[in-house]
Amino acid sequence: DEQTAGVQVTEAAGLQRYLEHKNADIFGPDAGPGEQLRGVSTGVFLQSLAFPAANDVAMTGVVWQRLTREQLLTVTPGVLFPEAVESSVEPLYERPILEGGVEVGTVFGYSFKLTVREQFDFHRYPFDTKDVWLRMWPKDFDSNVVLVPDFDAYPEIDPALKPGLDNGLVLAGWEPLRTYFQYREGDYSMDFGNREYVGTEGFPELNFTVDVQRNFINTLVSDLIPLAVVTFLLY
pLDDT tens profile 31-62: 666 678 999 999 999 999 999 887 899 999 99
Helix %, strand %, coil % of the chain (to 5): 20, 45, 35
What are the distances in angstroms from CA 99 to CA 49, 65, 102, 106, 173? 36, 17, 5, 11, 45
- Kindly state the average pLDDT of the residues 21-33: 80
Q: How confident is the model at residue 156 (pLDDT cuts 50, 70, 90)?
A: very high
Flag whether pLDDT at 146 surpasses 50.
Answer: yes
- Kindly state the average pLDDT of the residues 132-144: 92
- Kindly state the average pLDDT of the residues 74-78: 96
More confident residue, 4 or 80: 80
38-52, 64-78, 102-116, 162-176: least confident range: 162-176
Q: How confident is the model at residue 25 (pLDDT cuts 50, 70, 90)?
A: confident
Flag whether pLDDT at 214 surpasses 60.
Answer: yes
What's the pLDDT at 2?
A: 42
What's the pLDDT at 1?
A: 40
Q: How far apart are CA 122 and CA 125, in angstroms?
A: 5
